[in-house]
C-alpha cells in the first residue's frame, strides 16, 4: 500500500529528499525505472494502466557526442488511500495523476486545485517543483503546501500517526538526516536510507489502525517494508504481495560554472527492485 517520507527544504544542497516504498501485487506487470520513450518522464511504469507511482520530468535532448537531459524540476508521488472502498471500473488510474502533473505546466497548487477528485479511487498525491510542494487527497484533505520539515505519510490522512509512519519518521531523524547534515554526497547516506526503508518490524496489535479492512490484513500491512505475503489467497500460502520497489528521489543543487548565474536544482531517482514482477 506504500509509504513516502519527504524531507522538504531542510538541507541547502538537497532541498528535497523523498524516500518511497511501493507495495503491490506481484502479478501486476511493471517496468523498472527508465526514461520513457513517449513522454518526458523518468520513472518506473505500471504496464497495466500506463502510469507511475513516482517520477520526475526529464526530456532527452540530442546533442552531438553528448548525453543530455533537460529538466524543469517537477516531481510527484501518489499513494492509495485505504478505507475499505474498492476502486470502480470507471475510475481513472491513480498513476495518471503523476504523469499528468509531470507533463503539465501548471504550478503544483494550481494543478492540485483543478483536479476532478471524484474521477479517481482514494489517493494521497504529492506534487512539487523546485520551489513548492503540495499534498492533496480526495478524502477531505484540501490542497496544502508542505512546510519545511519532515513529512511521512502512508495510506491514511497525512496527519495520521500510524505505527509504520512514526517508525519511519523516528529512524530517519536518528539515522539518516544527521548523515545528510554531515555530508550530502549520495554514497554517504543513501545506503542507510535504504536500510531504514527495509525495516520489516510489524506493529503491535494495539497499534493497528482501523481502515475498514480485516485485522489480519492490517497486521500484514503494518511494517515499513512488507515482506512477501499470501495476500489474496492465504490458504494456498503462496506469496502474492509485498514491497516491490524502493526509491530515493532528490533535488540537488548544481553550481553553475558562471559564478554570476544562480545555482540550479537537478532531480534524480535511484531505485531498488525487491521482489518479483518488474522487468
Q: What is the pLDDT of residue 262?
A: 63
CA–CA gap between residue 173 and residue 253 (Å, rounded): 22
Residue carrying the nine cell digits 544542497: 13
CA-based end-to-end distance of the chain? 20
Q: What is the pLDDT of residue 197?
A: 98
pLDDT digits (tens, 9 = 90+) for 73-113: 999 999 999 886 666 667 899 999 999 999 999 999 999 99
Average pLDDT over residues 174-181: 98
Query: pLDDT band at residue 126, thresholds of 50, 70 and 90?
Result: very high
User: Residue-wise over 47-76: b if at least 16 C-beta within 10 A, else e?
Assistant: eeeebbbbbbbbeeeeeeeeeeeebebbbb
Partners of 249 in the beta sheet?
A: 18, 269
- Reduce the DSSP state of residue 95 to 3 states and report it: helix
CA–CA gap between residue 93 and residue 50 (Å, rounded): 8
Name, of 130-144, 242-256, 258-272, the range with top average pLDDT. 130-144
Range from 47-51, 204-208, 229-233 carrying the lowest mean pLDDT: 229-233
Cell of 125: 498525491
Average pLDDT over residues 135-155: 97
Domains and CATH numbers, the chain: 3-273 (3.60.60)
Average pLDDT over residues 116-132: 96
The number of beta carbons lying within 10 Å of the beta carbon of residue 28 is: 14
Residue carrying the nine cell digits 500500500: 1
- CA distances in angstroms from 52 to 45, 99, 100, 133, 262, listed in the order given: 5, 7, 10, 18, 32
> Could you tell me which of 274, 268, 267 has the C-alpha nearest to residue 245?
274
Count Cβ atoms within 10 A of the Cβ of residue 192 and give its class: 0-12 exposed, 13-18 middle, 19 or more buried: middle
Instruction: Answer yes or no: is pLDDT of 32 > 90.
Output: yes
Q: What is the pLDDT of residue 254?
A: 84
Average pLDDT over residues 120-132: 96
Instruction: Answer yes or no: is pLDDT of 64 > 70.
Output: no
Instruction: Answer yes or no: is pLDDT of 13 > 70.
Output: yes
Cell of 5: 517520507
φ, ψ at 230 (rounded to 5°)? -85, 85
Partners of 133 in the beta sheet?
A: 128
48-52-56 Cα angle (round to 5) = 155
Q: What is the pLDDT of residue 276?
A: 58
The number of beta carbons lying within 10 Å of the beta carbon of residue 31 is: 14
Cell of 63: 546533442
Instruction: Answer yes or no: is pLDDT of 57 > 60.
Output: yes
Q: What is the pLDDT of residue 84?
A: 67
Residue carrying the nine cell digits 513548492: 132
Amino acid at each position: 500500500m506504500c509509504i513516502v517520507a519527504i524531507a522538504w527544504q531542510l538541507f541547502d544542497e538537497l532541498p528535497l529528499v523523498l524516500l518511497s516504498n511501493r507495495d503491490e501485487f506481484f502479478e501486476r506487470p511493471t517496468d523498472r525505472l527508465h526514461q520513457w520513450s513517449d513522454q518526458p518522464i523518468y520513472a518506473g511504469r505500471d504496464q497495466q494502466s500506463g502510469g507511475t507511482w513516482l517520477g520526475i520530468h526529464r526530456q532527452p535532448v540530442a546533442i552531438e557526442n553528448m548525453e543530455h537531459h533537460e529538466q524543469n524540476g517537477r516531481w510527484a508521488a501518489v499513494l492509495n488511500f485505504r478505507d475499505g472502498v474498492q476502486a470502480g471500473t470507471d475510475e481513472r488510474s491513480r498513476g495518471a495523476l503523476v504523469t499528468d502533473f509531470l507533463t503539465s505546466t501548471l504550478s503544483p497548487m494550481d494543478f492540485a486545485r483543478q483536479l476532478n477528485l471524484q474521477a479517481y479511487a482514494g489517493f494521497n498525491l504529492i506534487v512539487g517543483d523546485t520551489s513548492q510542494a503540495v499534498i492533496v487527497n480526495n478524502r477531505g484533505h484540501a490542497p496544502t503546501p508542505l512546510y519545511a520539515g519532515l513529512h511521512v505519510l502512508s495510506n491514511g490522512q497525512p496527519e495520521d500517526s500510524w505505527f509504520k509512519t512514526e517508525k519511519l519518521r523516528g529512524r530517519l531523524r536518528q539515522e539518516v538526516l544527521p548523515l545528510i547534515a554531515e555530508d550530502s554526497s549520495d554514497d554517504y547516506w543513501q545506503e542507510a536510507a535504504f536500510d531504514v526503508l527495509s525495516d520489516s518490524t510489524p506493529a503491535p496489535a494495539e497499534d493497528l489502525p482501523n481502515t475498514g479492512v480485516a485485522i489480519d490484513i492490517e497486521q500484514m500491512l503494518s511494517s515499513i517494508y512488507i515482506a512477501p505475503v499470501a495476500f489474496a489467497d492465504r490458504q494456498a500460502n503462496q506469496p502474492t504481495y509485498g514491497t516491490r520497489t524502493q526509491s530515493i528521489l532528490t533535488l540537488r543543487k548544481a553550481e553553475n560554472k558562471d559564478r554570476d548565474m544562480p545555482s540550479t536544482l537537478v532531480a534524480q531517482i535511484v531505485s531498488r527492485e525487491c521482489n518479483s514482477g518488474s522487468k
